[in-house]
């Protein structure tokens, strides 16, 4: 995401058209996210929670979304959900948060709702970052995550951003993925190696 510095109000002509087009993209994006959330909520009751698969429990034949750790504890395998995205529950500073792993996002991005669970309310944040996204310019506040744990993997002191506007899901972007030894998509699985 690149910093976006141009500011301006609504207008006519090309700028006005661009702003209306950007608003249409945002509204369409929100509609799609709401549909995905509805689909996720409908299927979540039938899917197991994301968990570590140990030799004793791997015989259960879990075929839906799951996290698997190998015996050495250096790989985690995420299985795509019904909508094709890689969702994972992670322990952040001791709180469980749901994330979408997004290679297109430059950073770890928290929704304001998830940030509040970690004690970062809007009045405690300084929204000094600006990102240019497909949905338009957004403001965010820089924060640092003490720890982020998925299965047996735990990373410390991760820079992240908290969005100013409400969102549907937090993102694990490239600042997370670059801390790993590697990551690879294989069909409907994402392998994280640390």
Kindly report, residue by residue over 115-158, the tens digit of the pLDDT. Answer: 999 999 999 999 999 988 778 889 999 999 999 999 989 999 99
* Domains contained in the chain, number: 1
Q: Are 177 and 183 in contact (CB under 8 A)?
A: yes
**100 is written with which tokens?**
């979408």
Please give the residue range of the domain that contains residue 166: 49-193
What is the pTM (predicted TM-score) of this model? 0.63
Q: Is residue 3 part of a domain?
A: no
Q: Are 90 and 101 in contact (CB under 8 A)?
A: no
| Confidence at residue 65, expressed as pLDDT on a 0 to 100 scale | 38
Which residues are bridge partners to 184 per DSSP?
Answer: 191
Q: Is residue 42 part of a domain?
A: no
Residues of the chain with pLDDT under 70: 1-12, 14-73
Residue count (the chain): 194
CATH number at residue 107: 2.40.70.10
Q: Is residue 23 part of a domain?
A: no
* Cβ-count burial 164-189 (b if 16+ within 10 Å, e if not): eeebbbbbbbbbbbeeeeebeeeeee
pLDDT tens digits along 87-100 = 999 999 999 999 99
């Amino acid at each position: 995401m690149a910093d976006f510095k141009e500011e301006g109000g609504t207008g006519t002509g090309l700028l006005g058209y661009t702003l209306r087009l950007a608003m249409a993209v945002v509204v369409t994006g929100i509609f799609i996210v709401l549909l995905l959330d509805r689909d996720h909520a409908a299927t979540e009751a039938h899917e197991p929670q994301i968990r570590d698969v140990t030799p004793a429990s791997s015989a259960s034949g879990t075929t839906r979304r799951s996290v698997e750790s190998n015996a050495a504890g250096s790989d985690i395998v995420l299985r795509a959900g019904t909508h094709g995205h890689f969702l994972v529950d992670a322990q952040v500073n001791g709180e469980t948060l749901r994330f979408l792993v997004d290679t297109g996002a430059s950073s770890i991005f928290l929704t304001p709702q998830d940030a509040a669970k970690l004690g970062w309310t809007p009045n405690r944040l300084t929204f000094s970052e600006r990102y240019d996204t497909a949905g338009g310019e957004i403001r965010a506040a820089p924060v640092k995550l003490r720890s982020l744990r998925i299965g047996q993997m735990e990373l410390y002191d991760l820079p992240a951003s908290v969005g100013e506007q409400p969102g549907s899901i937090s993102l694990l972007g490239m600042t997370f993925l670059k801390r790993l030894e590697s990551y690879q998509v294989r069909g409907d699985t994402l392998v994280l190696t640390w």
